[in-house]
């Protein structure tokens, strides 16, 4: 480990200056009123770049274009419809209280702050809860085919960490249906000429002029051509960075390059170590494994999680009698049972496997059993509710979950950390906004199920389109910036140099081999449980891998063609820096909170022990150079409404 | 297992393509088809050869990116996407042919990667409900009968992969187009644009150079999401209805 890197300094504190004072339930209205507006006739004179077309980017692009802005949008996929939001299965939360079960905006706010283990900003979370109800209206109007009751009204179900039924869903394909809604709205604007869409085009750097974000450098993935694009503001909706772990439930090409390059250009990166490990994924089968597949958390509504009571019990599941099974979540957390939040369910699974009671190959699995549900509801009802998930499980594992319990194990799924943003979702670079999973704002140290879709759409449909006006109204960019501007020329040169360097090494290791190596290291030392010693080991190893990467990487072909190896290798360059920051953040946060579990900081019964006095802040890191110690800026978190308590789901 | 792969290689859109033969060994039956191709590509890179380009992303069967014709079948022998096809569907010693989607409206970009932007343009021509953000009424203002909601959902499941086009002897995009029309035209929210939607989308589909339907039904057999052949019949009915209604105006 380079001593220099760990030896970070603490800079000036950082604070959100955009959320107005006053009662939390009035802040959003106040902010919208105070924000300056752009006259409808002037909006078409403003160009906004949006990177990414998932729930956040797709909804933002469509909405900004509807307002009259000129939108230039990018995605690396061949179509904006393929962004990884499409794979979200379970549902989307909204405080509609259609069930009359005691839900309210305030309860959703409360649940989210508590679920995030008191590491999120109250004003942001309250706004999210308020907007949740409008999202459902919006999506229904677009024709999103949510599940309905026989009376024609919308159906809901429960998710982990809450005791009301507020999750709207479209079978196991809620993300797909919501994304197609946003994609269709975006398509309408593309046809109208208000959105200039660039598919198969990947952002490789941010162009900053006079301290403001003014454009991007992007590569056409078909021709390999590097181009510059300019705008009055840039919106990053490029998703999370879970793929730093190599194996995750993210899409294969989901990557951190857009946010990491923005970070290098001056955007602070907040809470990078806050990673969500999802408890119900299909266990890996071997070294060939390229990604992991999640089974929706909604399965925990009816499935029961258990392992054998005895260590090393290798009898088949149905040969283990009832009294020799340990339904450990129901035992340890009787009031929430199988529906405890994700971080708690994942850690409990790890614990029983570490005790030697795991099932399946390598003992890396626990059972998720539907036998009781099938008996209670009948096979037909189980099929109607979860049929597509059962089919998917069977296809991947070749086991029939109607006959034998599913085997599941936790896997990296979501990253709560991301670019630091204020209440307006603006990063520390003026004119650069980050929305959806790309920012750090709303989920604290742990995200509740069905809240990612809610946040992505809240940011894209409602928050950003209201707050970006204020920036654009205050910053009329009369000065035209084009490709000849020195900042643009320099940024393009750096990008071209980086790609040329990757192609020139001509070593003896493939991009995947490096990605796998850093991923395994991160999973071991910066995964479900972290220690001071382990993190220091990882911090020692990462610069070595980086050095080896630049010595031994082999990227075939050229930069002037469709070259998937080059795309991969270039993303790994950024993972190899981001991984280091994640480990440093995890090392510095010597407390446990939400998805970040430091073994040194736990309660006597093994639960995460927060240390609010010392760590009641969001950690925003400033980049100072590759391998150089970053500067920490702390945003103090103030809880006026939901007072921090040790979370209890017992 | 040990397999012989015959793979379509084509350097770029303008180049001539050819089938090239590769041997792969130590393939586990638990691997997905794409993981088997990953193995081949790792070997090719180390040998200094150009790896096989193919589209893929979520590898969970939902994004619709993967698109291989395997032994003549779009997405291969099982009714699923290529990414969810596992090697247990093959035997040791098999020879497997791997080609891109074949359709004039889907030109090859490189190897197994094709350009499916025609699908995007069909959606842009009318595959949406005009509902600008902020203008939505309360969600429960319009109940939707469950059978209608379920019918709409079944068609909304389309992942836009293009297997229907690849499987069709005429290279028709009727199943894709009809799926979106049936999704939106069934819902009360979609009613105001019901006629223009079907007329415009069908016109765009024709303009993109997709073939016509002769009801061979290959599309519905290849569809990994089980969009039914009847979907096309419903679209034709919608189109006829719209033509007559618009003529009366």
Angle CA(B224)–CA(A251)–CA(B149) in degrees, nearest 5?
A: 45
CATH topology of domain A486-618: Methane Monooxygenase Hydroxylase; Chain G, domain 1 (1.20.58)
- Top residue of B46, B63, B66 to mutate, by most chain A CBs within 10 Å, is B63
Q: Does A187 touch chain B (CB under 8 A)?
A: yes
Contacting residues of B for A222, CB less than 8 Å apart: 109-110
The mean pLDDT value for B50-60 works out to 97
pLDDT of residue B30: 93
Q: Which two tokens stand for residue A461?
A: 């449909």
pLDDT reading at A239 higher than 90: yes
Residue A4 has pLDDT above 90, yes or no: no
E strand or H helix at A64, and its extent? helix A55-67
Q: Where are the domains of chain A?
A: 278-411, 486-618
Averaged pLDDT for residues A172-180: 95
Residues A186-201: what's their mean pLDDT?
98
Q: Give the torsion through C-alpha atoms of A471, A474, A478, A483, to 10 deg.
A: -30
Averaged pLDDT, A460-475: 97
CB contact under 8 A, A79 and B58: no
Provide the CATH number for the domain formed by B117-248 in this structure: 1.10.1060.10
Three-class SS state of A68:
coil
Contact between A188 and B116 using a beta-carbon 8 Å cutoff: no
When CB atoms are compared, the residue of B50, B55, B117 closest to A557 is B50
Confidence of residue A361 (pLDDT cuts 50, 70, 90): confident
Dist CA A187 CA B91 (whole Å): 44
Q: Does B135 touch chain A (CB under 8 A)?
A: yes
ipTM > 0.95 (yes/no): yes
What pLDDT, on the 0 to 100 scale, is given for residue A286? 87
CATH architecture designation of domain B3-110: Roll (3.10)
pLDDT, position A2: 55
Distance (Å, rounded) from C-alpha A296 to C-alpha A176? 13
**Residue of B83, B133, B181, B224 to mutate for A, most A C-beta atoms under 10 A:** B133
Out of A220-229, A376-385, A586-595, least confident range: A376-385
- pLDDT for position A3: 63
Mean pLDDT, rounded, for A100-109: 97
Provide the pLDDT for residue A645.
87
Q: Give me the pLDDT at residue A451, please.
A: 96
CA distance A491 to A493: 5
Q: Average per-residue pLDDT in chain B?
A: 97
The pLDDT tens digits for A598-617 are 999 998 888 889 999 999 99
* pLDDT confidence of residue A574: 98
Residue whose structure tokens are 């809604």: A181
pTM reported for the whole predicted model: 0.97
SS (H, E, C) chain B: CCEEEEEEECCCCCCCCEEEEEEECCCCCCCEHHHHHHHHHHHHHHCCCCCCCCCCCCCCCCCCCCCEEECCEECCCCCCCHHHCEHHHCCCCCEEEEEECCCCCCCEEECCEECCHHHHHHHHCCCCCCCCCCCCCCHHHCCCCHHHHHHHHHHHCCCCCCHHHHHCCCCECHHHHHHHHHHHHHCHHHHHHHHHHHHHHHHHHHHCCCECCCCCCHHHHHCCCCCCCHHHHHHHHHHHHHHHHHHHC
Closest Cβ opposite residue A253 in set B57, B60, B131: B57
The residues of A carrying an active-site annotation are 342
Lowest mean pLDDT among A166-170, A212-216, A384-388, A470-474: A384-388
Average pLDDT, chain A: 95
Which residues 72-101 of chain B have a CB within 8 Å of chain A? 78, 80, 84, 86, 88
High-pLDDT (> 70) share of chain B, % = 100
Q: Is pLDDT of A1 > 60?
A: no
Is A289 close to B35, i.e. CB distance below 8 A? yes
Q: With an 8 Å Cβ cutoff, are A84 and B183 in contact?
A: no
B197 lies within 8 A of chain A by CB: no
Residue A260 tokens, joined: 């990491």
> What is the average pLDDT across A612-628?
97
Q: Is the pLDDT of residue A486 over 80?
A: yes
What CA–CA distance (Å, rounded) separates B242 from B11? 45
* Token code pair at residue A389: 């998930």
pLDDT, tens digit, 9 for 90 and up, residues B62-79 = 999 999 999 999 999 999
- pLDDT score, position A547: 98
Output the pLDDT for position A480: 83
**Where do the structural domains in chain B lie, given as residue ranges?**
3-110, 117-248
Mean pLDDT (whole number) for A313-341: 94
Q: Which of residues 97-116 of A touch B (CB under 8 A)?
A: 98
Q: What is the architecture, at CATH level 2, of domain A278-411?
A: Alpha-Beta Complex (3.90)
pLDDT tens digits along A540-566: 999 999 999 999 999 999 999 999 999
Under 8 Å between Cβ of A48 and A25: no
- Residue A406 pLDDT > 60: yes
The shortest CB-CB distance from A137 to any of B53, B86, B139 is to: B139
Helix H or strand E encompassing A632: strand A631-636
Q: Which phi and psi angles does A203 have, rounded to 5°?
A: -70, 130
- Rounded CA separation A349/A280 (Å): 10
Q: Residue A476 pLDDT > 80, yes or no?
A: no
A544 Cα distance to chain centroid:
28
DSSP H/E element including A205? strand A201-209
């Amino acid at each position: 480990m380079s001593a220099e890197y760990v030896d970070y300094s603490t800079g000036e504190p950082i604070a959100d200056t955009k959320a107005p004072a006053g009662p939390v339930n009035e802040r959003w209205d106040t902010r919208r009123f105070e924000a300056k507006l752009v006259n409808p006739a002037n909006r078409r004179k403003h160009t906004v770049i949006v990177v990414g077309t998932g729930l956040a980017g797709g909804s933002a692009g469509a909405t900004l274009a509807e307002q009259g802005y000129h939108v230039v949008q990018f995605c690396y996929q061949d179509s904006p419809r393929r962004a990884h939001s499409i794979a979200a299965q379970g549902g989307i939360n909204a405080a509609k209280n259609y069930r009359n079960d005691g839900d309210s905006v305030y309860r959703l706010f409360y649940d989210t702050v508590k679920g995030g283990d008191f590491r999120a900003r109250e004003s942001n979370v309250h706004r999210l809860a308020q907007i949740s109800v409008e999202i459902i209206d919006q999506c229904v109007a677009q024709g999103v085919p949510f599940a309905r009751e026989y009376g024609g009204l919308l159906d809901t179900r429960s998710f982990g960490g809450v005791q009301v039924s507020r999750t709207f869903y479209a079978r196991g394909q809620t993300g797909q249906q919501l994304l197609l809604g946003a994609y269709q709205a975006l398509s309408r604007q593309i046809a109208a000429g208000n959105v200039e869409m660039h598919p198969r085009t990947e952002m490789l750097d941010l162009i900053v002029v006079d301290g403001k974000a003014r454009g991007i450098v992007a590569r056409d993935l078909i021709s390999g051509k590097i181009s510059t694009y300019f705008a009055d503001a840039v919106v990053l909706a490029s998703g999370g960075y879970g793929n730093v772990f190599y194996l995750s439930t993210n899409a294969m090409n989901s990557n951190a390059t857009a946010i990491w390059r923005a970070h290098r250009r001056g955007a602070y990166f907040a809470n990078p170590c806050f990673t969500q490990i999802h408890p119900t994924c299909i266990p890996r089968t071997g070294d060939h494994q390229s990604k992991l597949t999640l089974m929706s958390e909604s399965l925990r509504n009816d499935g029961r999680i258990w392992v054998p009571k005895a260590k090393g019990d290798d009898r088949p599941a149905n040969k283990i009698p009832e009294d020799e099974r340990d339904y450990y979540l129901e035992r340890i957390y009787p009031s929430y049972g199988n529906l405890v939040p994700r971080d708690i369910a994942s850690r409990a699974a790890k614990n029983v496997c570490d005790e030697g009671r795991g099932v399946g190959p390598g003992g890396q699995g626990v059972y998720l059993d539907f036998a009781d549900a099938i008996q209670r509801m009948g096979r037909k009802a189980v099929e109607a509710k979860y049929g597509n998930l059962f089919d998917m499980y069977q296809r991947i594992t070749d086991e029939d979950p109607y006959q034998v319990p599913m085997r599941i194990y936790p896997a990296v799924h979501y990253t709560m950390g991301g670019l630091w943003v204020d209440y307006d979702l603006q990063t520390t670079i003026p004119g650069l906004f980050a929305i959806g999973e790309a920012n750090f704002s709303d989920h604290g140290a742990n995200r509740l199920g069905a809240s990612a879709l809610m946040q992505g759409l809240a940011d894209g449909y409602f928050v950003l389109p209201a707050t970006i006006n204020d920036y654009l109204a205050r910053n009329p960019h009369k000065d035209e910036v084009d490709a000849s501007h020195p900042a643009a020329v320099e940024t393009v040169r750096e990008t071209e140099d980086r790609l040329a360097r990757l192609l020139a090494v001509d070593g003896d290791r493939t991009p995947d081999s490096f990605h796998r190596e850093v991923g395994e290291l991160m999973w071991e030392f910066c995964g479900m449980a972290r220690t001071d010693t382990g993190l220091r080991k990882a911090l020692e190893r990462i610069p070595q891998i980086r050095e080896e990467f630049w010595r031994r990487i082999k990227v075939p072909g050229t930069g002037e063609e469709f070259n998937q190896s080059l795309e991969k290798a270039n993303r790994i360059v950024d993972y190899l820096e981001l991984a280091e920051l994640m480990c440093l953040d995890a090392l510095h946060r010597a407390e446990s909170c939400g998805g970040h579990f430091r073994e040194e900081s736990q309660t006597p019964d093994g639960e995460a022990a927060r240390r609010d006095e010392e760590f009641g802040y969001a950690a925003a890191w400033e980049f100072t150079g590759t391998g150089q110690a970053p500067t920490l800026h702390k945003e103090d978190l103030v809880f006026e409404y939901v007072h921090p308590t040790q979370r209890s789901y017992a | 297992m040990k397999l012989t792969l015959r793979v379509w290689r084509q350097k770029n859109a303008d180049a001539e393509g050819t089938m090239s033969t590769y041997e792969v060994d130590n393939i586990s039956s638990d691997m997905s088809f794409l993981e088997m191709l990953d193995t081949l590509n790792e070997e090719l890179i180390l040998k200094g050869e150009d790896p096989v380009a193919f589209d893929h992303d979520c590898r969970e069967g939902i994004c619709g990116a993967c698109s291989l014709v395997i032994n003549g079948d779009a997405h291969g022998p099982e009714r699923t996407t290529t990414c969810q096809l596992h090697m247990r569907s093959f035997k040791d010693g098999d020879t497997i042919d791997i080609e891109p989607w074949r359709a004039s409206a889907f030109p090859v970009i490189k190897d197994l990667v094709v350009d499916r932007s025609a699908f995007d343009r069909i959606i842009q021509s009318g595959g949406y409900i005009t509902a600008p953000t902020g203008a939505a009424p309360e969600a429960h203002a319009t109940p939707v009968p469950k059978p209608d909601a379920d019918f709409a959902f079944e068609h909304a499941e389309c992942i836009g992969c293009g297997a229907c086009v690849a499987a069709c002897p005429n290279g028709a995009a009727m199943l894709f187009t009809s799926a979106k029309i049936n999704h939106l035209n069934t819902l009360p929210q979609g009613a105001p644009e019901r006629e223009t939607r079907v007329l415009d989308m069908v016109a765009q589909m024709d303009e993109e150079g997709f073939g016509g339907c002769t009801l061979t039904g290959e599309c519905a057999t290849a569809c990994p999401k089980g969009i039914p052949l009847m979907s096309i019949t419903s679209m034709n009915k919608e189109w006829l209805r719209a033509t007559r209604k618009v003529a009366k105006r």
